[in-house]
Amino acid sequence: MRDLKMMTYGEAIREALDDALAQFPDMLLIGEGVPDPKTIFGTTQGLREKYGAERVLDMPLAENGMTGICIGAALAGMRPVLVHQRIDFALLSVDQLVNNAAKWHYMFDGQQKVPLVIRVIIGRGWGQGPQHSQSLQAMFAQVPGLKVVMPTTAGDAYHFMLAAIADNNPVLFIEHRWLHHIIGEVDKQAPAAGLDGAAVMREGRDVTLAAFSHMSIEALKAATTLAEHGIDAEVLDMRCVSALDIESVAASLAKTGGKLLIADCAPEMASSGHQLLSKLVLAHGDSLKQAPRLIVYPNHPVPTSHYVANHYYPGAEQIASAVLEMLGRSELTASVIGALQSDLPKDQPDRSFVGPF
């Protein structure tokens, strides 16, 4: 029987943490700001009061040391969830993640396990700028032994978080801040999710849009407007960065005539789109019937100024415009772009967003 509820992405994260704390007595939830009044944008609200200060706790500004402590706790049989409010802060713990957490299973022939979830947040907004808005998912996805997932929907956020906590090996769980307020369906009785595979968000026959995290929402916006002009785009959510689901992309291309556009919320030189294209060509070299397109951020640090940010971030307009060029339908560009244009600054997701950042 389905147990369907509507909730925001952020509420789904909190619900998953709540259910996991109840299910796994050895789970810890730890991070800078976890129990403070802002409770990681509300995603840990009330959990300290419900499960106690010994299981839901704050930590000092000592990311590398605390990651080592969490790895030790995991080796001792606990299931820590370590939270960084920005992925930028996780850079301070790269040594522990890369040289210890990701390798322990292999160095000890599978006899030792590190069931550790590192929960990090990416995304822009309100002048977060170059040190709080980076998109480093591709860098972490290059580390063998470290699973990297980026769920886009509330349903995936709930089930992926539970699956990550149940996993006996380290998982980097990446949330885009702008997804937190988006409402979606969550079916708690759905079968347990695996941390793999892309998801078809919209079926289509004219072009394949393979997108990552918040760019999947932008791709859906573009596809919805394009459909009003007779163009039917299929949207794939590349929700698992390692390993990429190449087979689903190839299957989609077989339906859409080999036309592919990739949209990623990362600078071009650090985009997982390149890895996707490389693997696709190696495994399905004849699946592409024309040159693919890649919509990504420019190759320079994220600006702080609202005015400069307006020229930094691509979105639905750029995706739709590129699709029209690919299909030889540029005569529709002005009409489609006109329908997608917004007077909101590029670092504000919608008028309901009131922060913090």
- pLDDT tens digit string along 303-316? 888 788 888 899 99
| Residue 209: predicted pLDDT | 98
Active site residue 132: yes
Residue 159 pLDDT grade (very low, low, confident, very high; cuts 50, 70, 90) = very high
Q: Write b or e for each residue in 283-322: b if 16 or more Cβ atoms lie within 10 A of its Cβ, otherwise e.
A: ebeebbeeebbbbbbeeeebbbeeeebeebbbbbbbbbbb
pLDDT at 193: 76
Select, from the ranges 30-44, 150-164, 292-306, 337-351, the one with the highest average predicted confidence (pLDDT): 150-164
| Residues in contact with 103: Cβ distance below 8 Å, sequence separation at least 6, in sequence order | 145
Mean pLDDT, residues 115-144? 89
Collapsing DSSP to helix, strand or coil, 236 comes out as: strand
The per-residue pLDDT for 346 is 78
Q: Is 105 a catalytic residue?
A: no
What is the pLDDT of the chain when averaged over all its residues?
93
DSSP helix/strand/coil, 268: helix
Mean pLDDT of 100-123: 95
What pLDDT is recorded for position 185? 95
Distance CA 316, CA 342 (A): 11
* pLDDT over 80 (residue 354): no
Q: Is the pLDDT of residue 264 over 90?
A: yes
From the candidates 84, 132, 159, 176, which is the catalytic residue? 132
Per-residue pLDDT at 39: 93
186 pLDDT higher than 70: yes
Residue 349 pLDDT level (bands cut at 50, 70, 90): confident
Predicted pLDDT of residue 304: 84
Q: Which helix (H) or strand (E) segment is 276 a member of?
A: helix 272-283
pLDDT at position 215 is 97
CA separation, residue 292 to residues 9, 11, 314, 322 (Å): 31, 36, 17, 10
The one catalytic residue among 15, 63, 218, 234: 63
Q: Is the peptide bond before 198 cis (omega within 30 degrees of 0)?
A: no
Task: Please write the tens of the pLDDT for every residue from 77-104.
Answer: 999 999 999 899 999 999 999 999 999 9
